[in-house]
A and B are shown apart, each in its own frame.
Chain A
Amino acid sequence: MTMFGLALRALLFRGRTLAIAFLPLAIGIVAVIIRLAADPVDFDSAYATLGGNLLIGVVLSLVSLVIGVNAFDDEREGGTLPLLMSTSTPRWRIVGAKLAAAWITTVLVSLPAVVGIGVLGTGEELDTGKVWSSLLAATLLTAAAYTALFVLLSLVSGRGLFIGLAYVVIWEISLAGPVTALRNLSVAAYGRRVLGAPWAEDLVPFNIADVGVVVGGVVLAVAAAALGLLAVRRLPRIDAAAG
């Protein structure tokens, strides 16, 4: 089995990962119920809240944190990291496989929420194609940037979980979201910029980074690639034997 296959099996096909999927599933179900039962005039605010604030701001950040930190922590705690490091596999392939597996797992776990929110979004007077494409692009790019960040954090420090949690709760949720001046330093703000593509820039109903849609997407992709490269550079330097 390839390195990627092993990494994906270790992350995705686990009971605890499936348990996490219950939250996005609940969000998806609530979104569909709102689509079916609520007054259409409320779809706009519901899509903004569930898509912009909940999916991009909370769900993707938390799922990426748990999955991303776990990618190498599982090996650390299981004592298999020294074994992995002693193989002749290039470091970039190890990190690349872990990153890709964590990214795919994050996207798949969040998928029920994405689908439900997409169904809700198509009830608005927005272009259906734009709603789905912006939602999927925002999910894929935001998950990539968050996952790369948290995988890197888990390689930089044994306390990657706490640092990542501080970043999500203090920076992303409490500071960068509400404070206009800090939005251009927030992963979620760029993700919301991509999600807000169906609206004119001044009509987007959630807080976004002060850039265009394409630039927002490029920033997320570049951030994910840069953080991934840093993780590749970091891996040979970690103390594999340390718990």
Chain B
Amino acid sequence: MTSPTRPPAVLYDIRYSRFTGQLRPRVYAVLALARSSALGALGVRRSTGAKIWPFLLVVVAYAPAVVAVGIPLLVPDNDEFTEPLDFVSYYELLALIATPLLAYVATTIPSLLTRDRRDRVLTLYFSTALSAWEYVLGKVIAALLLILLVTLGPLLVLLIGGALVSDSPIDYVGDHAADLPKVVLAGVLLALFHAGWGLAIGSLTPRRVFAVGGYLGVMLVASTLGGAVASISNSDAFLAFVLPIVPIDMTASFLDTPEGNVTAPQGLLWAVWLVVVLGAAAVLWRRYRGGRES
């Protein structure tokens, strides 16, 4: 017996039909993947619990820069700290955020790749407008954006904040105009280094816990071993194996550093950086060259 209030049955015509919407270049697919991956890693459009950890680390990374910008505002007549850079230099800021950066990269970057491997959706991706290379490019862009958020972002807060709290913002901008390309380069060096290593580790396993452990293990063990061997051998060259500070020490060649700061030779630092970045590119090429789940 049918209810009198039930709406009448309807037949929908769902035969194959061509897409009639606006066709966009393939680069839009790459950018859409990068955007959704980056937002997913930050926990956006996910549960509250998924947002807490990444955003907590973002706040920790910005805290020193915000404090440095705030001090001249809170203590205006202080002769010692007239501008944020008197409180913390760009180099010192990068050194301060090194530890939260490790935790942030460990938990956001490898999972850009592990989740898709775990859920076995790579084949699905590659059957769409995305090729394997475009997929990897989208993930690399997402990783770079995520890391720049906590490396370049605080540096820009320090630079722009200095202008905003200055008595003469125009003079401040003129005096520090040359800083902009330097801080951008510093942020990009850090981002490429950590994105490369994080994605390479993430491409090797479908299990996030192993990727996180692998990334942190190599970074922390190399740090302690490099520092210990440098101390025993009295050779600064071994400091080039303290991986978390390699890209930070590279910025010592173009950013002001604290007096007495000791780094490995710049040539060696750049060599280690290149080995890590190119090695990561080679691992990604090896893992995704066939365009299939391996």
* A159 pairs with B221, CB closer than 8 A: no
| Chain B binder among A1-9, A45-53, A211-219 | A45-53
Cβ of A125: which chain B residues have Cβ within 8 Å of it? none
Interface string of B93-119 (1 = CB under 8 A from A): 000000100110011000000000010
Are the C-beta atoms of A54 and B209 separated by less than 8 Å? no
- Classify chain A: how many residues form its interface, as a range: 35 or more
- Taking the closest CB of chain A, its distance from the CB of B87, in whole angstroms, is 21
Contacts of A63 in B (CB 8 A): 213, 217
Determine if B210 and A42 form an interchain contact, defined as CB atoms under 8 angstroms apart: no
Question: Would you call B231 and A45 a contact (CB within 8 A)?
Answer: yes
Of A15-23, A136-144, A231-239, which binds chain B? Answer: A15-23
Assess whether B210 is in contact with A16, with CB atoms less than 8 Å apart. Answer: yes
Distance between A110 CB and nearest chain B CB, rounded to angstroms:
11
Q: Does A69 contact B (CB under 8 A)?
A: yes
User: B118 — which chain A residues lie within 8 A by C-beta?
Assistant: 77
Residues of B within 8 A of A69 (CB): 209
Interface residues in A20-76 (C-beta closer than 8 Å to B): 20, 23, 26-27, 30, 34, 38-39, 42, 45-46, 49-50, 53-54, 58-59, 62-63, 65-66, 69-70, 73
The answer on a CB contact under 8 Å between A27 and B225 is: yes
Determine whether A174 belongs to the interface, using a CB cutoff of 8 Å to chain B.
Answer: yes
Question: Residue on A with the closest CB to B213?
Answer: A66
Tell me which of A87-95, A96-104, A127-135, A161-169 binds B: A161-169
Interface size of B by CB at 8 A reads 31
Cβ contacts under 8 Å, B272 to chain A? none
Given A159-B49, A174-B99: A49 in contact with B224 (beta carbons within 8 A): yes
Q: Report whether A23 and B209 are in contact in the complex, using a CB–CB cutoff of 8 Å.
A: no
Q: Report how far A54 CA is from B107 CA in the complex, Å.
A: 21
Report which of B213, B216, B224 forms a contact with A54, defined as CB distance below 8 A.
B224
B232 with A19: CB separation less than 8 A: no
- Residues 220-265 of B contacting A (Cβ, < 8 Å): 220-221, 224-225, 227-229, 231-233
Q: A161-B208, A165-B103 are in contact. Are A58 and B224 (CB under 8 A)?
A: yes
Residues of A within 8 A of B214 (CB): 19-20
What DSSP secondary structure best describes chain A's contact surface?
helix
Contact B233 A54 (CB under 8 A): no
The interface residues of chain B lying within 8 Å CB-to-CB of A58 are 217, 220-221, 224
In the complex, are the beta carbons of A166 and B209 less than 8 A apart? no
**Chain B residues closer than 8 Å to A49, beta-carbon distance:** 224, 227-228, 231
A50 with B207: CB separation less than 8 A: no
Distance of A21 from chain B, by nearest CB (Å): 11
The residue from A42, A62, A173 contacting B217, defined by CB atoms under 8 A apart: A62
- B257 CB, nearest partner CB in chain A, Å: 23
B233 contacts across to A, CB distance below 8 A: 38
11 contacts between A and B (CB under 8 A): A19-B205, A19-B210, A20-B210, A30-B229, A50-B224, A54-B225, A58-B217, A66-B213, A70-B209, A162-B53, A173-B220
Enumerate chain A interface residues (CB-CB to B < 8 A). 16, 19-20, 23, 26-27, 30, 34, 38-39, 42, 45-46, 49-50, 53-54, 58-59, 62-63, 65-66, 69-70, 73, 77, 159, 161-162, 165-166, 169-170, 173-174
Which 8 interchain pairs have the tightest Cβ spacing?
Answer: A66-B213, A49-B228, A54-B224, A42-B232, A16-B210, A23-B217, A162-B53, A58-B220
